[in-house]
């Protein structure tokens, strides 16, 4: 394992930025913003990894350690047939088959979120062996929300009550989900045609990574201010002077990266206003592929429904490609050499905090350390198991998260076969991304059939890399994104 250390203080450009308060409370400006470096940054030195303060006192209590638990992997967005009508038309599978596929993929949990219904829970096949099933629905029509952990269906909006009541009805739906012990996820909030124009921010997580970043047509397109305005008019909100939240307006002005990239910026808008929301992914499986593309990791003490939902509420989450990079992001907040803080936790202000990131299975890729929405450090990933340490002292409320990118090798056979799909999201005019994917994958031999209505494709990870190509960071693909560690 190659360990490198860097001090933000040694690399910083002195800068402060004050971010306006909004919603769930304000956040002060960042103390410093480090200069971005390419590869291993200047000042990086090798380290033996010895922990500071290794001496011990017999009677002293043990220092606080990381929380008890582990990272469970799963998918918080999936559909079954016949309960989601679009999945039924497309050749989707009954719930039991979906659960079996998730177990074959090695998932620990799966949320079955059929459109506007919980009828699937009464299906005779609705059971699993090792999988934790999370009952839920994909609520809404004009805008979609994953409501996970439900015991009864949540009423939909009633348009007959008038546009002025719609945002209030939405808040009542969120309240009902929370009363049932469930969580609310803003599903694909910048997918063109499904932009989240509603005012309530009382959701627990944002689905930043829906299916693939580039290989599916619906993720290729950016949403625009015009799309948002059209949606506001269509719901009758513009006529009564109601607009969307500022986070949505900010997000649509990030162009060129597609719906997932805009959703990432939308999520960061809430973080910048001091609102703690988890990042999650959703395979949005209807048919053809396995659940868990992407895979959401949730830290919890056990695999139970309540523990997993609590992990999402606490933003102890990160999202990555299936069978891709593995990430450990921690912090030592008291300088004792024990990295006791994990993703979703908070560290104190005015203290030099040591951060540590371990990345596996991403050799030749890149790490971006993102602080308050700005990339402050970059590291080249040189081996299949790299660790990076850096120090930061925050003087006002802030947040730090990590992006991991995988290198795209266009010279490999799968790159040559899939690059047009990755660049355009469709190869054969009128066909959907999954149909194009099937057309390409079948002759390559990556097709399995496990009792599904149509053959189900399981691609090696190197193909997922192509399909998750980042058009903002050319030559790289999305590998992993973490929720933040907060300084407050």
Rounded mean pLDDT, 330-355 = 97
pLDDT over 70 at 264, yes or no: yes
26 or 335, which is more confident: 335
Residue for token digits 């002292």?
393
Residue for token digits 């004050």?
18
pLDDT over 50 at 74, yes or no: yes
pLDDT over 60 at 35, yes or no: no
What pLDDT sits at residue 15? 31
What confidence tier does 36 reach under pLDDT thresholds 50, 70, 90? very low
What is the percentage of the chain residues whose pLDDT exceeds 90? 72
Average pLDDT, the chain: 85
The answer for 337, left when phi > 0, alpha when psi is -120 to 50, beta otherwise, is left
Domains present along the chain, CATH in parentheses: 2-45+324-405+479-487 (2.60.40), 70-320 (3.20.20.140), 413-467 (no CATH)
What pLDDT sits at residue 329? 98
């Amino acid at each position: 394992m190659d360990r490198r250390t860097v001090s933000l203080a040694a690399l910083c450009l002195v800068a402060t930025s004050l971010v306006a308060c909004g919603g769930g409370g304000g956040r002060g400006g960042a103390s410093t913003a480090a200069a971005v470096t390419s590869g291993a940054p200047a000042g990086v030195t090798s380290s033996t990894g010895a922990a500071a303060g290794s001496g011990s006192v017999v009677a002293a209590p043990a220092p606080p350690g990381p929380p008890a638990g582990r990272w469970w992997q799963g998918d918080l967005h999936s559909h079954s047939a016949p309960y989601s009508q679009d999945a039924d038309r497309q050749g989707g599978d009954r719930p039991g088959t979906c659960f079996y596929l998730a177990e074959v993929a090695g998932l620990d949990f799966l949320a079955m979120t059929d459109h506007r219904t919980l009828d699937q829970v009464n299906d005779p096949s609705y059971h699993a062996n090792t999988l934790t099933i999370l009952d839920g629905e994909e609520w809404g029509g004009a805008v979609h929300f994953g409501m996970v952990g439900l015991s009864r269906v949540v009423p939909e909006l009633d348009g007959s009550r008038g546009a002025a009541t719609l945002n209030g009805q939405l808040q009542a739906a969120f309240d009902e989900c929370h009363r049932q012990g469930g969580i609310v996820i803003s599903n694909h909030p910048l997918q063109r045609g499904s932009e989240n124009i509603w005012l309530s921010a009382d959701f627990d997580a944002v689905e930043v990574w829906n299916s693939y970043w580039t290989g599916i047509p619906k993720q290729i397109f950016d949403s625009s201010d015009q799309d948002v305005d059209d949606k506001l008019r269509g719901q009758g909100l513009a006529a009564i002077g109601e607009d969307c939240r500022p986070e949505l307006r900010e997000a649509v002005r990030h162009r060129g990266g597609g719906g997932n990239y805009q959703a990432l910026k939308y999520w960061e808008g809430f973080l910048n206003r001091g609102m703690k929301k988890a990042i999650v992914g959703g395979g949005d499986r209807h048919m053809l592929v396995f659940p868990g593309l992407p895979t959401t990791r949730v830290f919890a003490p056990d695999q139970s429904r309540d523990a997993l939902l609590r992990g999402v509420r606490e933003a102890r989450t990160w999202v990555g490609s299936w069978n891709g990079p593995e990430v450990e992001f921690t912090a030592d907040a008291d300088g004792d050499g024990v990295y006791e803080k994990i993703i979703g936790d908070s560290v104190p202000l005015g203290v030099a905090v040591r951060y540590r990131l371990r990345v596996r299975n991403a050799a030749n890729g890149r790490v971006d350390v993102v602080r308050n929405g700005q990339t402050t450090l970059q590291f080249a990933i040189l081996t299949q198991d790299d660790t990076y340490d850096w120090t930061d002292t925050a003087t006002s409320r802030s947040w730090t998260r990590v992006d991991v990118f995988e290198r795209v090798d266009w010279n490999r056979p799968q790159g040559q076969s899939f690059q047009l799909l990755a660049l355009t999201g469709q190869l054969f005019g009128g066909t959907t991304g999954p149909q194009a994917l099937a057309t390409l994958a079948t002759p390559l031999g990556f097709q399995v059939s496990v009792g599904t209505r149509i053959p189900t494709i399981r691609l090696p990870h190197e193909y997922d890399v192509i399909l998750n190509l980042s058009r903002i960071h050319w030559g790289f693909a999305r590998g992993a994104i973490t929720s933040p560690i907060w300084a407050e």
